[in-house]
């Protein structure tokens, strides 16, 4: 079994809970995921099966789209409503125009400090593990990109936004920073991921519908993970050489790319390779298609 599964993660479960559920249904196939969602969040979670677990880093390159709700007038150590909430003096006037003006400051490439309770590593340890022990943390800002940040509604102390952003963006941090910029606190109160690259929530498989049959029927081709890469199709002999770790002559026009998705004559992804000096194509990752394992019932 080799492919990707677009799952709509429900609220209250971790991303690992979803992976564990799929794992039980396809054991002994290896299972992983790309793009962690907090228990509070719902929406698109890409589950990688079999050799596709080696493609997770490519899935992280896709932009992500979220529908989010910020609750103004509060702060928490987790930057969302699941932490201990502390009331903050509300801002004098927070109008839609004022919110749009502030959101404009966070559009484009920005420096963002991750939440204290996050998976960011500090001296080799996860920040959330240190925070739970009361260790003071001074997390450094990281560059992220907000491709689009749009106000979709506001009511009393709640602000609804749609966010399209780069991988590595924390929407909890955005809620915190927007609240501070508005002159009051802000925490994330709702989050739904509606898209990762070509994977849309309207095409997701619900958690309750996961079964051996639905996994087989809804398994997506692994090529979707590397759709952003230039590609090259090779013949049977070249495919076999790459599968065995040997480089092949790069016929035709040079691609001038560090990474190339390579497909066999049937259009199946067989490798991610790199162009080398002298007109050679050398494999980086190789995917054996003869190791399919059927899903099984619990």
Residue from 38, 79, 80, 264 carrying the catalytic annotation: 38
**Token pair of 162 as six digits:** 């749609």
Q: CB–CB of 70/159 below 8 Å?
A: yes
Peptide bond preceding 129: is omega within 30 degrees of 0, i.e. cis? Answer: no
Measured distance CA(54)–CA(50) in Å, rounded: 8
Task: Say how far apart CA 114 and CA 128 lie, in whole Å.
Answer: 11
38 assigned to active site = yes
Handedness of CA 49, 55, 56, 60 (dihedral sign): negative
- Cα angle 291, 292, 298 (rounded to 5 degrees) comes to 125
Edge to edge, the sheet with strand 248-249 lists 231-233, 260-263, 269-276, 280-286, 248-249
Rounded to the nearest 5 degrees, what angle is found at the Cα of 275, between the Cα atoms of 274 and 281? 85
Classify the C-alpha dihedral 30-35-41-43 as positive or negative.
negative
Q: Give the Cα separation of 244 and 271 in Å (integer).
A: 11
Give the active site residues. 38
């Amino acid at each position: 079994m080799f492919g990707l599964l677009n799952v709509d993660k429900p609220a209250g479960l971790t991303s690992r809970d979803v992976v564990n559920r799929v794992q039980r249904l396809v054991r002994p196939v290896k299972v992983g995921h790309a793009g962690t969602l907090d228990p509070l969040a719902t929406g698109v979670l890409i589950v990688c099966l079999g050799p596709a677990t080696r493609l997770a880093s490519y899935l992280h390159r896709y932009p992500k789209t979220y529908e989010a709700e910020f609750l103004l007038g509060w702060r928490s150590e987790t930057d969302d409503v699941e932490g201990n909430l502390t009331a903050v003096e509300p801002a004098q006037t927070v109008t839609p125009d004022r919110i749009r003006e502030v959101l404009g400051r966070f559009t484009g490439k920005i420096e963002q400090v991750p939440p204290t309770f996050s998976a960011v590593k500090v001296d080799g340890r996860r920040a959330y593990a240190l925070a739970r022990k009361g260790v003071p943390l001074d997390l450094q800002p990281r560059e992220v990109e907000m491709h689009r940040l749009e106000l979709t509604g506001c009511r009393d102390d709640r602000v609804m936004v749609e966010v399209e952003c780069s991988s590595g963006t924390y929407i909890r941090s955005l809620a915190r920073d927007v609240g501070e910029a508005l002159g009051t606190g802000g925490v994330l109160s709702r989050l739904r991921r509606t898209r990762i690259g070509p994977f849309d929530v309207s095409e997701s498989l619900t958690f309750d519908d996961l079964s051996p049959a639905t996994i087989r029927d809804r398994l997506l081709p692994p090529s979707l993970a590397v759709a952003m890469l230039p590609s090259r199709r090779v013949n049977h002999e070249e495919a076999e050489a790459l599968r065995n770790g040997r480089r092949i002559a790069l016929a035709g026009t040079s691609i001038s790319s560090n990474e190339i998705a390579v497909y066999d004559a049937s259009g199946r992804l067989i490798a991610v390779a790199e162009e080398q000096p002298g007109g050679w194509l050398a494999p980086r990752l190789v995917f054996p298609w003869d190791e399919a394992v059927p899903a099984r019932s619990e």
